[in-house]
Structure formats: C-alpha cells, structure tokens
Amino acid sequence: MTEQDHKKIADLLKQTLSPVNPEPSRDLWSAMLRRLEQRPATKSWLAVMFSPASLASVPWFDWALLAALIIGLCIYPKSIPVWLYHF
C-alpha cells in the first residue's frame, strides 16, 4: 500500500463524509443536571451481563472456546470434577 493509495482513500472519505462543527449548539449543563438527578438504573448484574450489547461485544473466539469446552464436557463428563477442582 503506497502513500498515494493512503491519500486517495483519505480524499475520498473527506468528500464522502461531511465536515462537522466541533462546537456544541447549546450549553449542555442543564441536560447534565437532569441526568445527575435521575435515579441510577437498578439493573441486576445478570441483566447487564446478558444484555444484547454485552453479548455482541464478546469476540467470536471466546464463543468458540466456550463451545469447545461444552462439547468436551459432553464427550468426557468424567473430566467435570477436574475442572471444578481447578476453578
């Protein structure tokens, strides 16, 4: 990949994505105060842990490892005490 390719992609993106105004359109302190006054959401750790966002953020190889572990335990159920000992 050459510097020229790099520049071409950068130029294309600059033309594609419109520039943004880096200044907020209003003072956000009143919105911040409202947020501070809200009661914190009382979600259980289970709800947080198994929320779609949390599950979606788990890398695919972690799912593969989990699947391999479950399959291994199904094939060799006698290894369960060994795993329990180590954990």
Q: Which residues make up the interface to other proteins (CB under 8 A)? A: 1, 5-6, 8-18, 20-29, 31-32, 35-36, 53, 56-57
CA distance 76 to 82: 11
CB of 21 to other proteins, least distance (A): 7
CB of 73 to other proteins, least distance (A): 30
- Give, as one character, the DSSP assignment of residue 78: G
Handedness of CA 40, 41, 45, 51 (dihedral sign): negative
CA distance 40 to 37: 9
Question: Is 56 or 75 the residue whose CB approaches other proteins more closely?
Answer: 56
CB of 58 to other proteins, least distance (A): 12
Question: Is 5 or 84 the residue whose CB approaches other proteins more closely?
Answer: 5
Question: Is 7 or 67 the residue whose CB approaches other proteins more closely?
Answer: 7
Which candidate, 81, 83, 56, 87, places its Cα nearest to that of 69? Answer: 83
